Amino acid sequence: MMRSLFAALILLPLMAWAAPEYGTVERDHIRAELVAETAAIEPGQSFRAGLRLEPDENWHTYWINPGDSGLPTQLDWDLPDGVVAGEIEWAWPEALQMGHLVNYGYKDEHLLPVQIDTPDTLEPGDTLTLVVDAAWLVCEEICIPGDAKLALDIDVVAGNGPRASEHADLFADTLGRVPERVEWTTRFNTDGGSLSVQVVPENVGLDRDWSFFAINENLVEHAEAPSVLAEDGQVLISQPLSAYFSRAPEQLDFVLVDHDGARAWRLSAEPGELLSAGMLAEGSTPGWALALILALAGGVLLNLMPCVFPVLSIKAMSLVSGAGHDQRAHGLAYTAGVLVSFAVLAGVLLALRAGGEAVGWGFQLQSAWFVALLVYILFALGLSLSGLFDFGTRLMGIGQGLTEKGGSKGSFFTGVLACVVASPCTAPFMGAALGAAVFMPWPLAMTVFLALGLGLALPMLVLSFSPALARRLPRPGPWMDTFKQAMAFPLYLAVVWLLWVLARQTDPTGLAMVLSGMVALAFVLWLAGRESRSESLVVARHAAVGLSLIFVVSTLFSADHFGGGEGATVENAHWENYSAETLAEWRDDPERAVLVNMTADWCITCLVNERVALNTPAVRDTMAEHDVVYLKGDWTRRDPDITEYLSKYDRNGVPLYVLYPRNGDDPRVLPQVLTPQLVIQALERS
Amino acid sequence: MSYRMMQVLAASLLLALSTALMAAPEVGQPAPDFTLTDTQGNEHSLSDFRGQTVILEWTNHDCPFVIKHYQPGNMQDQQRLARNEHDAVWLSIISSRPGTQGHVSPEEADELTASRDAYPTAVLIDESGDVGRAYDARVTPHMYIIDAEGILRYMGGIDSNPSRNPEDIPDATQYVVVALEQMAAGEEIAEAVTRPYGCSVHY
């Protein structure tokens, strides 16, 4: 046996010189033949030829990714000038269990088809001779390498189309199982010890018998069958990484098979963060054009938000009463202000993203001082509308400066202000859509953000360019004062909402500092807005204004300084707050499994996962039933303990879900995209 | 989600949990200790060789991929280099179950060593496959390097060209040779985990 193999290897180079064989050749445990789908071709016609292999019963050859052992079959063509052979078009394989290993390959008769292109210079009456050096590995328990130099003659004829060969059926059958190349939305990542792939199939029902084959070698543990889950318009695949996995590939090539429809598709996925099922279902991965339109419409809608509407409606009123000819200049300056602010914000966001920061839209709300600043701005605007002081004349010259001598500079800053006051509203209402934009290449993403800004600026821009429309607005009059004062109340509500956000980021002391800052701010504005009656009072007033302002500014930073408190305690919560000690304590209890959820308020994937999976009654019941301890770590503010925990699992961002089984076994990392069934199954096995 | 999918999911979760228990050893962690009898009847334990680098080579003399490296002398060259230049211990391990390809008697193993001019420190017979499973040895050849402190430093293929053609050996990166040189130079092993290719081990 061994000697014959040595002999075969020594003879290998010699065999390359041997004459090619026609028809079926017999090798150890396999028969091989070069075949074509047509018996004759016309000059210039493309057709398919292929290697037909027929292993003995229970023997097999290998697919393009052979799996844990083996080698794919190779073809090396020797063709006349101008005749070109393509790559092998691999039909989807069978997963072949070999002990504790899994290979991908083909049993029984099979064909490896290849497209052959011929030149127009062929003459009818010629014979086209195809020659191929084929090398394969045929295995049962043991493996035997084989090769053959095979030839096939094809007649070149004129007219009358192709003539099917006796192998036409084999070609038709095999080509029906060759995956079609498609460009569906798909992503993959290799975080947490598993390959996770997300696919959004087009024009295919989801309730199918799916299977998944990775083409990249050395990526997944072939012996552990992939789990394929179809839900909410997408197919989710998860397969443990190979013990020999070293680094994530730049591209994942894979085959998705629908066994019910006997069809398959070949896809290439880029690495990326997986989007939550809910987000995909809401259609938030629209194409770029659709994202632009949605952003524009969203921007227009923002004008009606409680934080924006009061400011802009007053601005619109003043526009109406302003001088006609420079209205357009004001409209343009305002639009420029909005767009520049959005560009700056989006630029910072995209730069942080590119730098690997785990931030999403609304990241600016992550800093307590920024939230506090927004509180002060909205509160001051509210006080101004309530009539405590006149924003336009006294301070800053922004706001409704048009009727004064503010000029277009004033309008520009009104635009900036509109963007600033709009930002707390964009986060909750536009988060998902803008989240999708973050995954686009940055120039496209930037256009989506600018479209949002343009939408915000649009109503005012239209008003300033259309005197006819502006005339339709109610004429200014004494009612405007009442309207202004009424508009203060939505602003106060927006302030309340921001204080609630702030309360989650800081502790009671920090919150108290910001609240007293608000009182000081009101005091400053009240004092600054008063007419003075004597010289000495002017000095005292300026001193008081100055001191109070210093206090207001210092409270801004104290909000951040006092932060890092307990985090929110929610009534009726089914989780405990994470700490390393709590985790260690529960891990010591052999009766309890522990689920750790690392999350953050600004992480949209986290929130969607909680909404669609972790907080559903079914999952809560399962947790209760199985006595699972649910620990939640909040990374809304950077927390070194949680950062350290994340780094233990090679993460630099959230979400991260880790399940510790009750028997003290190694923890298991759940996928980044959760479904209720997935969580329940995992919990039941913990 | 259909019932079938739930079954698939449940099965894969179960599999994931069970295989976690018999997972491959990890580079950077202590290598599993073992005791095996060699073809001369002597017992060897991994711990006996503390202080020396140990190379484990899973082998099956009839496997075409093993032949690829023995026929042109590549494996023998590496055995000599490891033992003579790096003062390393080279253990060839046969985990083929009796009756399967690659299983040999001690006499046959010695005869193979002589006829192939091989140069291992010892050839160990692992009929039960226990040691092979402890190392998660999947194919032949499958290579492991354990340092003087008993820490696993390399696991994977013999070289970077997963083929059965001996002519492409000169173009391939010989992972074991490179790793030994990097260890001697006190460097990190650049490719410490690579794809093992070859024939399945016949447990």
A415 and A452 assigned to the same domain: yes
Q: Report pLDDT for B23.
A: 54
Report d(CA B66, CA A316) in Å as an integer. 83
Last residue of a domain, one of A455, A490, A525: A490
B116 interaction partners in chain A (CB closer than 8 Å): none
Q: Report pLDDT for A94.
A: 93
Domain that holds residue A671: 576-684
Instruction: Confirm whether B17 is domain-assigned.
Output: no
First to last CA, chain B: 38
Q: Report pLDDT for A87.
A: 94
Nearest CA in chain B to A66: B197
Is B139–A661 a contact, with Cβ atoms under 8 angstroms apart?
A: no
Q: Report pLDDT for A532.
A: 58
A250 and A387 assigned to the same domain: no
Q: Report pLDDT for A438.
A: 57
Instruction: Confirm whether B120 is domain-assigned.
Output: yes
Q: Considering the entire predicted model, what is its pTM?
A: 0.57
Mean pLDDT is highest, among A426-435, A584-593, B2-11, B68-77, for B68-77
Is A681–B6 a contact, with Cβ atoms under 8 angstroms apart?
A: yes
Lowest-pLDDT range of A512-516, B5-9, B88-92? B5-9
Cβ-Cβ contacts under 8 Å between A and B: the total is: 126
* For residues B50-71, average pLDDT: 94
Best A27, A71, A102, A229 residue to mutate vs chain B (most B CBs within 10 Å): A71
**In angstroms, what CA-CA distances link B85 with A285, A317, B151, B177?**
59, 89, 20, 11
Instruction: Confirm whether B6 is domain-assigned.
Output: no
Q: Report pLDDT for B126.
A: 93
Residues 86-105 of B with CB under 8 A from A: 100-101
Q: Report pLDDT for A285.
A: 46
Q: Report pLDDT for A417.
A: 80
A405 and A520 assigned to the same domain: no
Q: Which of A145, A226, A682 sits opposite B164 (nearest CB)?
A: A145
A211 and A295 assigned to the same domain: no
Q: Min CA distance, B192 vs chain A (Å)? A: 9
Answer for the pair B59, B69: CB distance below 8 angstroms, yes or no: no
Positions in chain A short of pLDDT 50: 1-3, 7-11, 13-16, 277-285, 356, 358, 392-405, 427-429, 431-432, 563-572
A523 and A440 assigned to the same domain: no
A21 and A89 assigned to the same domain: yes
Instruction: Confirm whether B148 is domain-assigned.
Output: yes
Q: What CATH number is given to the structural domain containing A221?
A: 2.60.40
B95 interaction partners in chain A (CB closer than 8 Å): none
Report d(CA A364, CA A321) in Å as an integer. 36
Last residue of a domain, one of A542, A565, A588: A565
Tokens of A339: 């767009």
A137 interaction partners in chain B (CB closer than 8 Å): 64, 164
If phi > 0 it is left, if psi is from -120 to 50 it is alpha, else beta; for residue A23 that is: left
Q: Min CA distance, B163 vs chain A (Å)? A: 7
Instruction: Confirm whether A498 is domain-assigned.
Output: no
* For residues B114-140, average pLDDT: 93
In 10 A of CB A239, how many CB atoms?
23
Instruction: Confirm whether B85 is domain-assigned.
Output: yes
CB of B114 within 8 Å of a chain A CB? The answer is: no
State residue A558 phi and psi, 5-degree precision.
-65, -30
ipTM rounded to 2 decimals? 0.77
A196 interaction partners in chain B (CB closer than 8 Å): none
Is B71–A221 a contact, with Cβ atoms under 8 angstroms apart?
A: no
Instruction: Confirm whether A243 is domain-assigned.
Output: yes
Does the pLDDT of residue B71 top 90, yes or no? Answer: yes
A151 and A222 assigned to the same domain: no
Give Cβ neighbours of residue A56 (< 8 Å, ≥ 6 apart).
A29, A30, A140
Instruction: Confirm whether A500 is domain-assigned.
Output: no
Q: Report pLDDT for A666.
A: 81
Is A229–B2 a contact, with Cβ atoms under 8 angstroms apart?
A: no
A173 and A197 assigned to the same domain: no
* For residues B74-83, average pLDDT: 95
Instruction: Confirm whether A317 is domain-assigned.
Output: yes
Q: What CATH number is given to the structural domain containing B141?
A: 3.40.30.10
Q: What CATH number is given to the structural domain containing A89?
A: 2.60.40.10
* For residues B142-155, average pLDDT: 94
Best B4, B6, B13 residue to mutate vs chain A (most A CBs within 10 Å): B13
A451 and A353 assigned to the same domain: yes
Number of separate domains in chain A: 5
Q: Min CA distance, A117 vs chain B (Å)? A: 29
Q: Min CA distance, A51 vs chain B (Å)? A: 19
Report d(CA A504, CA A103) in Å as an integer. 53
A240 interaction partners in chain B (CB closer than 8 Å): 16, 19
Does the pLDDT of residue B15 top 50, yes or no? Answer: no
A553 and A650 assigned to the same domain: no
A369 and A482 assigned to the same domain: yes
Number of separate domains in chain B: 1
Is A100–B203 a contact, with Cβ atoms under 8 angstroms apart?
A: yes
CB of A120 within 8 Å of a chain B CB? The answer is: no
Nearest Cα to A646, choosing from A661, A662, A633, A637?
A633
CB of A240 within 8 Å of a chain B CB? The answer is: yes
Q: Report pLDDT for A403.
A: 39
Is B155–A244 a contact, with Cβ atoms under 8 angstroms apart?
A: yes
Q: Min CA distance, A632 vs chain B (Å)? A: 23
* For residues B11-25, average pLDDT: 46
A546 and A607 assigned to the same domain: no
Instruction: Confirm whether A501 is domain-assigned.
Output: no
Domain that holds residue B38: 27-200
